[in-house]
A and B are shown apart, each in its own frame.
Chain A
């Protein structure tokens, strides 16, 4: 009656969770916003999404095979799918196929596998790939398709979408435009005032997500709901999203209050660009964010500060990717300085003194 000798010490029972469970929960939380984005931008977006996710899986399998390990169990943990997914929703919806493939390659190979695979990377793979794409292919990465929902008469059909994805967009001016943040940045450079710039701006449309923007990042509402659900499911903690959003809101509120013609309001900041996606889904990545609640507050605040600075004074209209990467590189430092206090010791690790009584 020999019993398995493996782990001799506890815990012999476990919580009902696993890596793949976590990954699937995050994807579930992303799916409403993604589905809405795919609906808004039609068949070309669907093509790009499928290509990006599939190539992420293929690159992951390739790297794992190179290591001489079986690919299937690694693929099944869902991390490659999630990376591809996160990358896809940050791309311009009608980007050509090779943007998705190159992006996935950058994310999986350079962003993750060269460090040693899941859990070892310093930078968020999806953000690394997106920033690399933006710097390398600035034109393709800043063509923002108009909202052209599936099955509408003026939207591209399935056949036409293949043309857009694989051969490129012919009549760029007719079907594309600027994002809200990009438009504001361009107008500011011509010394226009905010009241004039925002004549046609609809906060409500931005909130729902029916505007130009990245594939799955347009809907503040759906991303926010997905994020809150993740917090309720205890998959992510509230610290990073709250401190990130609060920092941006406070900073932009302060500057907007001081000069409302040259600084965008808090509401517009929170309601546009990659803000919600980054706050709930990118900055909260376990691997690249700090381990302690206090560290996470610092990390979120740092991200928020950098986003605001880049958006307001930087060359790019949106700075979320850069902000997250910069803070990723600060994560080991944050974890070094902000540690939990060990029971019976002070913050420096010295034993507590016996209270005199």
Chain B
């Protein structure tokens, strides 16, 4: 009975139709033809954009550094193939707005010629600092979609004496299977990556030494991946592979942390502060490739699926490949596409067209038909509270949306707008088809904009006040000088008069 109460609770969430069967059984396709041109955005991660160090017209080799990481939270970008740099300019970003961002355009030469790579013979002899340095230099970011620089997380893990490393293999978004296939086909490499991550987080400080254990969590709708990963992790006592219930959003890092460790990450803290850190399986694989083979992050496995896709698949592509080329390869019926989505259907963003590049965050590209989409015919809220019961963060989406609708953004912030993770459960379940997440994203952006505007007006006011004070000071000074001059003049005249009187 006691254990019943101790069972880690899963809060909220939905069980969305999975749509995974189309691609889950197919091996990862790795013969995607090398694109003629690659469009490599300089911002493919959270943080500051990378700064280019190549010139237009320069010839680069595969894996060569194109742009270095700027600042503490940033990641470098490398050449996905060999060829010539033809442009460094603004091109549309893979974002709902498709606004231009700085992008390097690489014309491939078809040779796919690697640069020389440096590999340590036994990576486990490397310093932990050296491992995270190499991970950072390889441009590895969280491949689950958050794209937070992995090296930063490893460093934080080392500094905060993390005792649990969770490897997120839940892949809870419908349609997506790239992590599932990766675990099935490359389990040993992933486990090797996990071991390297553990080494990278090891604290060599003898006094506060904490031994870190890894837990690979896989949703129970992926039994084959579970078997493969279990077998691969068998020899290593510090790595445990567990099955977790299939329920979206199980892969939300904080939900998974609570489920696996029973701990809750306080608002405003990083998970490492409570001794837990979490990485995606794809990231672990990228770490394996970076440390064992010296290969930077140049591409990833992308799920291409959806009703309009004739040959849905998981395909390994280079960053910078245009989505339209992927669609041609997967024989997408362009007439049937009602919406293109980057990522999963719950949290992904819709893209305005297919002329956009794939980036580090692209776990999937979905071409959905009208019948697959949620009805957008909005009806009044009937306060059914389904959104309250499915919210994994414990928010009240209906009240937040009502406040936003009447422009009471501060009230929405007060009841938890900033704690919204945009998981999409509320929008998914809403019987009135209210686009709740859309409301929240709008409001969050608007709150930031208003704060900036307020900050600006305060700054302006400060400047004006300072100027007024300065002018006042100058006027005062002038008045004083004037008075002094008059006094001096009077004094001079008095002296003159005295002298004249003497004479």
Residues of A within 8 A of B (CB): 1-15, 17-19, 21-22, 77, 79, 117-120, 286-287, 291-293, 335, 339-345, 349, 351-355, 357
Contact = CB atoms under 8 A, between A and B. Distances in A.
Contact of B395 (A5, A13, A293, A340): A340
Interface stretch (B50-58, B128-136, B292-300, B370-378): B370-378
Interface stretch (B117-125, B338-346, B456-464): B338-346
B383 A286 contact: yes
23 contacts: A1-B353, A6-B376, A7-B438, A8-B349, A9-B437, A10-B348, A11-B374, A12-B341, A12-B366, A15-B429, A15-B431, A22-B382, A77-B379, A119-B432, A291-B396, A342-B395, A343-B258, A343-B264, A343-B392, A344-B267, A351-B269, A352-B264, A354-B269
Contact of B380 (A12, A17, A117): A117
A215 B339 CA distance: 51
Nearest to A236: B384
- Closest A-B pairs by Cβ, 6 of them: A14-B374, A11-B424, A8-B96, A10-B424, A11-B428, A352-B266
Contact of A9 (B96, B275, B392): B96
Given A286-B384, A287-B383, A15 B419 contact: no
A345 B267 contact: yes
A349 to B, nearest CB: 8
Nearest to B348: A10
B56 to A, nearest CB: 30
A10 B267 contact: no
B274 interface: yes
A15 B265 CA distance: 30
B16 A13 contact: yes
A13 B381 contact: no
Interface in B348-380: 348-354, 366, 368, 372-376, 379-380
A340 B372 contact: no
A118 B380 contact: yes
Contacts of A345: 266-267, 419
Contacts of A349: 416
Contacts of A117: 380
Contacts of A339: 396, 415
B20 interface: no
B264 A12 contact: no
A2 B352 contact: yes
B100 interface: no
B394 interface: yes
Given A10-B437, A340-B396, A19 B345 contact: no
A119 B381 contact: yes
Given A9-B437, A9-B441, A344-B254, A14 B274 contact: no
A21 B431 contact: yes
Contacts of A351: 266-269
B350 A342 contact: no
Contacts of B392: 343
Given A9-B437, A11-B437, 15 more contacts: A2-B353, A9-B435, A9-B438, A11-B16, A12-B339, A12-B350, A13-B373, A14-B428, A22-B384, A291-B388, A293-B389, A335-B399, A342-B395, A351-B269, A354-B273
Nearest to A296: B385
B233 to A, nearest CB: 26
Contact of A13 (B351, B372, B388, B441): B372
Contact of A292 (B254, B346, B380, B385): B385
B393 A342 contact: yes
B224 interface: no
Contacts of B338: 3-4
Interface of B: 11, 14, 16-17, 96, 174, 254, 258, 263-269, 273-275, 334, 337-341, 344-354, 366, 368, 372-376, 379-385, 388-389, 391-396, 398-399, 415-416, 419, 422, 424-425, 427-433, 435, 437-438, 441
Given A2-B352, A12-B350, A12-B368, A343 B274 contact: no
A118 B376 CA distance: 18
B396 to A, nearest CB: 6
A238 to B, nearest CB: 13
A280 to B, nearest CB: 16
A178 to B, nearest CB: 38
Nearest to A77: B379
Contacts of B380: 19, 117-120
A11 B404 CA distance: 19
A18 B382 CA distance: 11
Given A11-B346, A343-B11, A3 B416 contact: no
A11 B350 contact: no
Contacts of B341: 12
Contacts of A343: 11, 254, 258, 264, 267, 392-394, 419
A335 B422 CA distance: 23
A10 B394 CA distance: 19
A12 B351 CA distance: 12
Given A13-B345, A119-B382, A292 B388 contact: yes
A9 B343 CA distance: 11
A19 B373 CA distance: 17
Nearest to B432: A19
A286 B385 contact: yes
B385 A353 contact: no
A14 B274 CA distance: 35
B431 A340 contact: no
Nearest to A352: B266
A19 B377 CA distance: 11
A12 B435 CA distance: 9
Contacts of A341: 394
